[in-house]
Structure formats: structure tokens, C-alpha cells
Amino acid sequence: MDERIKDEILKIEDLSIQYKTDLETVYAVNGISFSLKQGETMGLVGETGAGKTTTALAVLGLLAERTAKVTSGRVLFEGQDVCKMSEHELQRLRGEKISMIFQDPMTALNPVLTVGEQIGEALYLHNEQELSKKEIDRKVEETLEMVGIPRERKSEYPYQFSGGMRQRVVIAIALVCNPKLLIADEPTTALDVTIQAQILTMICDLQRKYGTSVIMITHDLGVVAETCDKVGIMYAGEIVEYGTLADIFTGDCHHPYTEGLFGSIPSLTEDARRLHPIEGLMPDPTELPEGCKFAPRCTKCMEICKTCQPGVWEKNGHQIQCHRFTENGEVKR
Amino acid sequence: MSKYIVKRLLYMIPVLLGVAFLVFTILSLTPGDPGSIILGITAKKEDIAALNTQFGYDQPFFVRFFNYVGDIIFHFDLGTSYATRQPVMDSILARFPNTLLLAVLSMCVSAILGISMGIFSAVRQYSVMDHVCIVVALVFASMPGFWLGLMMLILFSLKLGLLPSFGADSLRHFILPALTLSLPSAAGLLRLTRASMLETVRQEYIRTARAKGASNKRVIWRHALRNALLPVVTTLGSGFGASLGGAIIAETVFAMPGMGTLMTTAIRQKDVPMVMGATLFLAVLFGLVILAVDIMYAFIDPRIKAKYQNGGKGRE
Amino acid sequence: MNKSRKHAQLSEFWRRYKKNKTAVMGLILLVIIVGMALFADLIVPYEKCIEQVGADRLQGPSMAHFFGTDEFGRDLFARVVHGSRYSLLIGLATSLMALAIGAVLGASAGYFGGVVDNVISRIIDVFMCVPPVLLSLAVVAALGTNLRNLIIAITVSCIPGNVRLIRSVVLTTAEQDYVEAAKSYGTSNARIIFRYVLPNAMGPIIVNTTMSISTMMLSAAGLSFIGMGIQPPSPEWGALLSNAQTYLFVAPYMLLFPGIFILLSSMAFNLVGDGLTDALDPKLKD
């Protein structure tokens, strides 16, 4: 095993996930691949319903049992396929090695347990060092202070905290076991703008301190620019463009959807928070178009796009899934 | 917390006065005066008038009401029965223990049975046992309790001879009436608990718990159960009211000397003070039970508890 | 809201309802029972209910008398079929009346708040202290036993719960932005309540009313059973059971059929209520 593979903490290969009900099949994720190294932060960007959260849940093995099916691909965490793990193995993985910050702090905390109990639970569940109750308590207090909450508040209930403070509690729950991979699912969407920056800075600081790898799910390109090393742009369950932060924000070649997201491609120094509208809506995930999923909304759509699924163009790790690019990186005309 | 309890107890005073007024008003609508009810309309006018004076019926409505309430508060007296000419309170205290025992027994049985089966059914959603539970619960919840009682009476008393069919002499006499009352309400609780449980496990915080690595068992017992039981607990109070009401009817089925048979007899005899006294007595009891359940609720839900501690208003 | 959109909503609602097999079963059962009540005279003439055949006293079920006969030799099948009218009438009348009164009181309390809410809520607190059966009994005791008084008694016992429910539903709906918007351009209060708030709060109210029909039918039967509702010789199901209790030893079949019919009709409303809950609230379905 060479060095490169070794520090590759997460590798997703050709992952497809469908939600099946008696009425319809939702094609949530359609053959995505990416990998993440130790200490790296990857941004997963896309509109609501692009399959970002589904991907995250698949990494944790938390997909809805009855309806969700992984139809192809693998999710390798430290070389082991998460999709093939038993429930018991998954439980040992969750919270200890991989943990997740959820979008809405108002609903992500159990209303009848104190925040201390909720943070301590992860430690209690993964108590390999056999910490005593007192030691767990101390660790909970440390973690609370780490996320900027006074330790005395550990015996308070979630309703006594504001949205931003609750999100800190959620982060404390996610980080208390020092996980190797942290999935942050739109951690700032539900928060005030002023709080957003605080929370993001905090996640980044903690990540640097512990060398945690992070998957940052968001639809805010500003967040990506501030926090990520790599970026995957998701559309209708596919990663349509994937590359380093520089590839996505400054490179010359882009997927039309990415261009649409930025309006025009700005440089890193410019303010890129504003999203220019892209005409139309994301396709119905139960009836995806035959060719390129983005074709119906694409301003540069060609005949081939309507019938034929585009392949992946790649240059130095920068990948684009679009017919406009040929093998040698030239724009087709 | 104790401040809240005191506050709620104080609030109960106007409510109970209101209940007394309500019951008094409704039953004052009964046509006829005590004299003609007791002696019959063919009796001599003077005798009727004398009796009416004796019962205070010659006084205006509000005076009668205040006298009635005053007697209850200061003399623990609910008036005199038209039929027996004995204090109403004596008859009630003689009959009440049976009704209370029946209501409490059936309440406990239905809570234990209904809630545990509801959880069981929700945990095994879509399994065969779940479907069986749903169907059985639906049938029992739709069943008239007294009919169930009669059917069980035929089966267990007449055909099998296992249990007594009437009276209230020993605990064995309470088995059939208590089952009669508790099975339909247990079915209702099962349906409610199951629905509440299924709603709760869909919540985000359940996903948070699972993302922490909690096992399914732990998720259910530690995270889902308490939240799922909140709406169930709120219905326990009114469930006790339903039990009391059901007891009134079940007593008729099993010819049990209790408040129900006392009341139906009194209604037939137009014994207004007896009906009034019995209704008021049970209503006050029920009011206290509701209060107890509210306070219990505050102990399980920290949000409510805090609202109370901050001196906020109770039931909103 | 224009007609075609309303139509589309209805057909979407029906599509979801239809998917639920038990709900459809409940609906079929309901149609059968309502049909039985409506066409009782076509099924079996009313005369059969009162016709006393001395030779046929206390006969078990047979081809001549499907459900047997009672102590006067009256045909129980005819009596059960015609008895359905009482149960349905009482169930529907009480639920709708309690709904109307509950809607006015609950909506005013929830919408206006303040003093109106306080007065209504405190009165309801008082009513809630009296268990429903007890409240009905008190009303019956005061007014006397007949169909009209039974309907009044049961309606009264059902109102407090309705007011509570509708108040809380209206309270949440009245906070919505579209109500604020309507207020801001000067719509009258009554119009806001009936055009904006109540229609949007309809889901839980419809479900509750459907379920309450079942409860009301059960309590009517119960009251009649203890002799405080509809009196014999009316063939009301509860009254039939009350009568059957006397002949428990010799003619247990007299108990069976009225009970089964109460059970089936109450179940029909429960099933339809469950179906409505699911169909009106798609998020509950996985």
C-alpha cells in the first residue's frame, strides 16, 4: 500500500443510491466518486435535492433502511466498505470515527435530555479508554468550553439555548470523540449571518487542531471559498465538476452549471457570495432526463447532450462531466 | 416547582366553583319542585309547600346555590336525598370506593397494556405482530365497552363459571368489570402510543443519536420513548374521566353497587340532590386527577417545567 | 382558489386515500351502513319491527328470522336494520352540532385571543372537569329521556374538546403570513376566520369530527343501554342490548347482532378517520 492510498481516509467509488417507494423511484445519487485525505476539507456544493445529504448519510450508513438502496459502488472508509458493514460495526464507526453536524440545530437535539447528557453519550458509547463517569464529565466540560459554551451550562436543556449556541452543542457532540472524519451538513444555513462566520471559524480551527478531515456540505460558495481544499459540484445526484479550490474558483475550464452558479467565474479575491439565477428547475429526481441531467437548463446545450450521458474529462485531478470538453482539454466547437 | 403546584391548586378553586355552578344549573333545569316530586302532584298544597321550605326551594336560585356550596365547604354536606331523606354524602361515601377502585384498576391495566403494546408495535413496524396489534386495537377501540362486558360475562361467568357475574364483594368481582373498561381504552392508548412513537423516531434528534453510534435499542429507550410518551401522558387525565364514565355504565352490566348504579337509580327517582351530589363529587375528583397529570407532565418535559418555574401560566 | 385547482387537490387527495387499503375498506363499510339506514324500508318494511308474533317468541336465528326474535316475537333483523337510523342520526347530528359550536367558540378564542380567549378558555376548563358521560347524564337527568335530549346531552359533552382542538389549530394557523397579509389589506375578521383560517386548519378538524362520530355513537348506545337514552320499544341498538340483557340466559343471540353492528359502524368511522389522517398529512407516510 503506497503512501497516497494510506492517508486516503475516505474513498467513494461510483456510488448510486435510490429511494424506492411503491409509487416511484427517486434517483438521489447517480454514480459519484471522490476521495478525501487526512486533514483535508472537501466542499460538496449544490442546490437542495442534489443528493448531498444522501451522500453524507451513506457515508455514515444512516440511509433509511426500508426505502433507500445503494444500487452500485462502494464507500471505503480507511479501506473498509461502509455499505457492507454490519449494524454493529457501523455503530462503532459512527460518532467515534465519523461524525456529523446536522443542518437544523433547532431540531437536532433531544428536547428532554440535558446538553451535557447528549454530549457525554458519544463518549459513553465509545468508551474504549474506560473513562469513569467523572472523567467523562470532565471531558464534556472541556468540549463545551472548546466550542465556547461555559461549562456550567451542561445541565441545561436545549430549549434554553439560542440557535447558534445549539449548533455549538451539536458540534460538541460531533467532536467529543475526536473523529477522523466530520461531515458538516449545511452547518450554518439555519443560523444568522453573524453567527455563521463564528461557527465556520470554529469548525476550521478545530479541524486544524485535530487534523480531522471534513466534508462540508453547503450551497454557499462563500463558505466553500473560506473553508475547503477541494470542491465537488453536485447536480441531480452527479458530481458534475470536481477539483481543488483553485480549479473551481480560478481555473479556465468549467462545467456550465458551475459557471451558472458563479454567474461569471470570479477570482478568489473577489466577493463570490451572490448566485446568479440559472433558468429553470432541477429535474424531477424520479424522471431524470436521458442525456446530460443539466441539458434542459444549459445555455450551451448541444444535440448530443440531450441523448447521451457525458463522460468525465480530467486534467491534473480537475474533473468535468460535460460533452463540451474533449480528451485533450480543449473546448469543443 | 412547589410554587407552581400551589398556583395550580389555587386556580382549581374557581374552576371547582364553576363546576359546582354548572352542575347546579343543569340539574336545576329539572322540572318540578322537591315537594311535588316527593309527595306527588296529588298531595295537599300545604304539605308540598312545607317540604319545599324544608329543602330551601322557596329561596331564589342564587341563594340556593350559595347555600349549597356553603354546606359543602363548611359542613361537607351535599344535601338530603329526596328518595331516602338521608344525607347524600353518606350514600356517596358508601358507594364511591367501588367506583374508584374500578376506575383506578382499569386505568392501570389499560395504561400498562396500551403503552407497552403500542411501543412493541411501533418498534416492530410492518411486522406480522404489528399488524395483529393494529387490527386487534382497532376492533377493541370501536367496541362498545358494555357490550364487551356482556360478552365476557356470558363467556367467563355463564359458560365457564370462572368469575362472578355481579356484586362487588371481593377483588375477583372486579376482574371482569375492570377488563371491560380497560380493553377498549388500552386499544386507544395502543394506537396513540404507536403513532406517537413512529412520529418521534422520524425526528432529527433521533438521527443525531444514531449518528453518535447509539444502538437501535438505546435510541428507542433513551431518546425516543420519553418524547413519544409526552402526548400519551396528556391523554391519561382525560382517560381517567373516560374510565369514570365507563365505570358508571359497566356497573350496570355487572350489577355492582357503585356511583353509576346510584346515579341511574337517582335519575329514575328524580332524586335531584343525589344526582347533583354524585356528579359534583366525581367532577371534583376528576378535576384533581387532571391537575395531578398536569403536574406529572411538568416533571417529564423540562420545557414545561421551566415555564412553570419561571412563574408562567400553566396550561396553554 | 379556482375550481380546477380545487379539483386537482381533491383528485390528489383521493389518489392518496385510495392507496390505503384499510381506509378503502372502511369507506365501503361506511357506505353499506349508511345505505342500510337510508334504504331500511326497502330492505325490510318497518312493520316487521313492531309486528309481534306470539308463536315466534325468543327464537334463535333462522331463515325466517336472520337474527332471531325477541321476547314479543318481533323480528330482530328488522329491528337492527331500522335501529341503524338512530345510531347514524345521533352520531352525525351530535358531531356536526358540536363541530359548529366548537368552531365558533374555538375560532373566536384562538383568533381574537385576549379577553375573549380567557373567558372561553376558563369556561371550557370548567366543562373539562366533568367527565363526558357524567355531563351527558346530568343533562339527561335534567331534561328527561328522549331522542332530542339525548342528542343535546351528547353534543354538550363533546363541545369542550372541540373548542380546545379548534382553538389550538386556529392559534397556529392565525400566526401564518397569509393571515397577516389578509389583515394588512383590511379584510374583515369574520371573513379572515371563515375564508383563511378555518379552511387551512381543516385537516385535523375533519379527522377529529369523523372520529368523534364513532365516539358519539358509542356513548349514545351506552346511555341508551343504561336506560338514560332512547327508550324501548324504539329499536335503537343500545336499547336492544339493554333489553337483551334480561334474556342473557335464554337468548344470548339477542346480544350478538346489535353489538356487532355498533362495532362495525364505529369501526367504519375510525377507519375512514385514519385514512383521512394519512391522506391529509402526506408527511406521515414513509
Q: Are B23 and C130 inside 8 Å of each other by CB?
A: yes
At residue A268 the predicted structure's pLDDT band, cuts being 50, 70 and 90, is low
Cβ-based contacts under 8 A for chains A and B? 81
Reduce the DSSP state of residue B27 to 3 states and report it: helix
**What is the pLDDT at residue C175?**
79
Q: Are B138 and C227 inside 8 Å of each other by CB?
A: no
Q: How many angstroms separate the CA atoms of B142 and C29, rounded?
A: 13
Which tens digits make up the pLDDT trace of A181-191? 999 998 888 77
Q: How many angstroms separate the CA atoms of A280 and A258, rounded?
A: 15
Average pLDDT, chain A: 85
- Partners of B268 on chain C (C-beta within 8 Å) are 227
Q: Are B303 and A107 inside 8 Å of each other by CB?
A: no
Q: Is B187 on the interface with C (CB under 8 A)?
A: no
**What is the pLDDT at residue B309?**
60
Q: How many angstroms separate the CA atoms of A127 and A177, rounded?
A: 9
Pairing of strands A213-218, A80-81: unpaired
Q: Are B213 and A173 inside 8 Å of each other by CB?
A: no
The amino acid at A3? E
- Partners of B126 on chain A (C-beta within 8 Å) are 66
* Closest CA of chain A from C175, distance in Å: 19
* Closest CA of chain A from B209, distance in Å: 8
Report the DSSP beta bridge partners of residue B80.
B87
Q: Are B146 and C138 inside 8 Å of each other by CB?
A: no
Residue C7, pLDDT > 60, answer yes
- Closest by Cβ to C129, choosing from B144, B147, B287: B287
**What is the pLDDT at residue A273?**
55
**What is the pLDDT at residue B186?**
94
**What is the pLDDT at residue B135?**
93
Reduce the DSSP state of residue B32 to 3 states and report it: coil
Q: What is the pLDDT along chain B (316 residues), one digit of tens a residue?
A: 677 788 888 888 899 899 999 999 998 888 878 877 787 777 788 888 888 888 888 888 888 899 888 888 888 888 888 888 889 999 999 999 999 999 999 999 999 999 999 999 999 888 999 999 999 999 999 999 899 999 998 888 888 888 887 777 888 889 999 999 999 999 999 999 999 999 898 889 999 999 999 998 999 999 999 899 988 988 888 888 888 888 888 888 888 899 999 999 998 888 889 999 999 999 988 988 888 888 888 777 777 766 666 544 433 3
**What is the pLDDT at residue C90?**
92
**What is the pLDDT at residue B298?**
78
**What is the pLDDT at residue B308?**
61
| Cβ atoms of C180 and C134 closer than 8 Å | no
Region label for C73, one of left (φ > 0), alpha (ψ between -120 and 50) or beta (otherwise): left
ipTM of the complex, rounded to two decimals = 0.86
CB contact set of B287 (below 8 Å; sequence gap of 6+): B12, B15, B16, B19, C129
Residue A25, pLDDT > 90, answer no
Lowest model confidence (mean pLDDT) among A136-145, B32-41, C258-267: B32-41
Residue A265, pLDDT > 70, answer no
| Cβ atoms of C111 and C183 closer than 8 Å | no
The chain C residue lying nearest B266, using CA atoms, is C141
Q: Are C19 and A22 inside 8 Å of each other by CB?
A: yes
Q: Is C175 on the interface with A (CB under 8 A)?
A: no
Q: Is A102 on the interface with B (CB under 8 A)?
A: yes
Cβ-based contacts under 8 A for chains B and C? 150
Higher pLDDT pick, A281 / C282: A281
Q: Is B136 on the interface with C (CB under 8 A)?
A: no
pTM for the predicted model, two decimal places: 0.84
At residue A288 the predicted structure's pLDDT band, cuts being 50, 70 and 90, is confident
Q: Are A64 and C286 inside 8 Å of each other by CB?
A: yes
* Subunits adjacent to chain C (3 or more Cβ pairs under 8 Å): A, B
* Closest CA of chain C from A53, distance in Å: 18
Q: Are C259 and B151 inside 8 Å of each other by CB?
A: yes
Q: Is C18 on the interface with A (CB under 8 A)?
A: no
**What is the pLDDT at residue B245?**
87
Lowest model confidence (mean pLDDT) among A300-304, B112-116, C104-108, C207-211: A300-304
At residue A270 the predicted structure's pLDDT band, cuts being 50, 70 and 90, is low
| Among B residues 179-208, those touching chain A with beta carbons less than 8 Å apart | 203-205, 207-208
**What is the pLDDT at residue B314?**
37
**What is the pLDDT at residue B72?**
87
In which residue are the cell numbers 420513548 written? B225
Average pLDDT, chain C: 87
* Subunits adjacent to chain B (3 or more Cβ pairs under 8 Å): A, C
Which candidate, A19, A126, A133, places its Cα nearest to that of A70? A19
